[in-house]
Amino acid sequence: MTAPEPSRVRVLVLRAWVEDAHPSVLRVRILEVDGAGDETRPLAVVDDVDHACAVVRAWLQRLEAGRSSP
């Protein structure tokens, strides 16, 4: 297995928290970072597990297809 080209490497960061005033409210901020760590782009802020999973799935499918994120 060879190392991937840096231009094809991406990192997805999920920052999740529960609102203090509303303990049942989940928030997830999703960021994409390029492989070199030089550029960070926000992808989404969502408020439920299903939506977070959908964003992650779409991101992985774009990566697999060789397309960059929108």
The DSSP code for 56 is: H
Specify the number of domains making up the chain.
Answer: 1
Is 12 a domain residue? Answer: yes
Residue 70 lies in a domain: no
Sign of the Cα pseudo-torsion (66, 49, 28, 37, in order):
negative
In a domain, 29, yes or no: yes
Q: How far is CA 56 from CA 10, 22, 37, in A?
A: 12, 25, 19
Q: 12-59: per-residue pLDDT in tens?
A: 999 999 988 877 889 999 999 987 778 899 999 999 999 999 999 999
Sheet with 10-18, edge to edge strand ranges: 10-18, 26-34, 40-46
Is there a domain that residue 45 lies in? yes
Q: Is residue 34 part of a domain?
A: yes
Task: Map residue 23 onto helix, strand or coil.
Answer: coil
Residue numbers of the domain that contains 52: 6-65
pTM for the full predicted model: 0.80
| Amino acid residing at 68 | S
What's the pLDDT band for 67 if we cut at 50, 70, 90? confident
